[in-house]
């Protein structure tokens, strides 16, 4: 494989493992990558600027406010790169990045960088296991950073445990995987629904559910990153670079999806659509007064997937979500047939650590031939990518 035309920033922080980064740079250069090294002041204690300049054949960047001459490529470093690797990532720099502290050039560049970032931590085993360090790792992982955890073994400090830098081969492999990702959804038009519908009782109150919309939004983000022309139909307001249609009720969602469906290749119904709505909505706020009880008459909402299946073409893909607290797989498989689905994503809402309002989920992907793929607890951002790859592979 060649990395010709790819620009990579290598960030080096203060730690004995910094010398290993030289080997990573050498391997990237051998693949024709354009590599720029950014080091923290503490990293100078472990690796010299001369060594890095010789290996990268580029300038080495360290001081944030000490630039001897104006160089546009230095100012636009974050914008021009395709990938940012921080190898090794110290506990100190991890803490700064996780909390938005920009007190050196490396942390300032990370704050401005909006493309993939790989972190390869290395430190004393007790530091790695420190609860604050672990909280910061989780924050960065949730923000989309790729974490390559340290390995277990004998450490430079004399301790035995988890903290040594991951094998350079693993770090290189991850970088190649990210840089070689194809836009496999290029040319595809996809509708994705997200959030829980809100069925009004009066101008103030509504019947709703606990859906946060995180899974649907993660799917839309991932589809967009894979090159798809995305339309997000959502009850949650978000600011994204793709088309968003905001609405509230099941009836509005049905109408919108019907109008859009004929123009797309796939519909992914991740929204939690209310099964019922109030038959007669009050135009005015219902007063409590002396009433001890109030009765609401509910009527069934149409099943959006069933309605869409009636107009589905053979070359269109229909994907549903199934949230159950018992008999998950059995109920999910019944819905595939009754709703004419190509795939259904089944998740167990009885597990409090996943699903509603959580950043994590665990699902089973079932296709129309009843094949099952079980995905254990995973960040929804990563799970979205897995789901899309399975659907469109």
Q: Distances from the Cα of 106 to the Cαs of 28, 38, 386, in angstroms?
A: 20, 6, 31
| 372-377 contacts at long range (C-beta below 8 A, 24 or more positions apart) | 372/329, 377/353
- Sheet architecture: strand order including 60-61: 60-61, 34-39, 7-12, 83-89, 117-121, 146-147
Give the tokens for residue 246.
């905001």
Q: Which of 22, 125, 157, 322 is catalytic?
A: 157
Q: What is the CA radius of gyration of the chain?
A: 25
322 is catalytic: no
Active site residues: 157
């Amino acid at each position: 494989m060649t990395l010709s035309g790819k620009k990579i920033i290598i960030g080096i922080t203060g730690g004995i493992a910094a010398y290993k980064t030289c080997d990573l740079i050498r391997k990237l250069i051998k693949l024709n990558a354009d590599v720029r090294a950014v080091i923290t002041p503490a990293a100078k204690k472990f690796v010299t600027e001369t060594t890095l300049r010789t290996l990268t054949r580029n300038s080495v960047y360290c001081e944030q406010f000490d630039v001897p001459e104006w160089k546009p490529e230095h100012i636009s470093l974050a914008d021009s790169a395709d990938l940012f690797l921080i190898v090794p990532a110290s506990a100190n720099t991890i803490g700064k990045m996780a909390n938005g502290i920009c007190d050196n050039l490396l942390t300032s560049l990370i704050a401005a960088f909006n493309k993939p970032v790989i972190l390869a931590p290395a430190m004393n085993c007790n530091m790695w296991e420190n609860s604050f360090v672990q909280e910061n790792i989780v924050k960065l992982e949730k923000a989309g950073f790729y974490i390559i955890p340290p390995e277990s073994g004998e450490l430079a400090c004399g301790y035995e445990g988890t903290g040594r830098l991951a094998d350079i081969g693993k770090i290189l492999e991850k970088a190649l995987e990210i840089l070689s990702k194809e836009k496999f959804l290029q040319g595809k038009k996809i509708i994705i629904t997200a959030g829980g519908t809100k069925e009004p009782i009066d101008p103030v109150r509504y019947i709703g559910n606990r859906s946060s919309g995180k899974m649907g939004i993660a799917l839309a983000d991932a589809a967009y990153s894979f090159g798809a022309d995305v339309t997000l139909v959502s009850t949650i307001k978000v600011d994204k670079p793709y088309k968003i249609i905001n609405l509230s009720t099941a009836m509005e969602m049905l109408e919108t999806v019907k109008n859009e469906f004929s123009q797309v290749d796939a519909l992914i119904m991740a929204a939690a659509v209310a099964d019922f709505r109030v038959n007669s909505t009050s135009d005015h706020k219902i007063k409590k007064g002396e009433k001890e009880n109030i009765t609401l008459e509910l009527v069934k909402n149409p099943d959006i997937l069933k309605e869409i299946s009636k107009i589905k073409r053979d070359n269109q893909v229909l994907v549903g979500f199934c949230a159950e607290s018992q008999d998950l797989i059995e109920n999910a498989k019944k819905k595939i047939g009754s709703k004419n689905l190509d795939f259904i994503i089944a998740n167990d809402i009885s597990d409090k650590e996943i699903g509603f309002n959580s950043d994590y989920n665990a699902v089973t992907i079932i296709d129309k031939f009843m094949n099952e793929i079980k995905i254990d607890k995973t960040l929804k951002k990563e799970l979205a990518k897995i789901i899309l790859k399975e659907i469109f592979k």
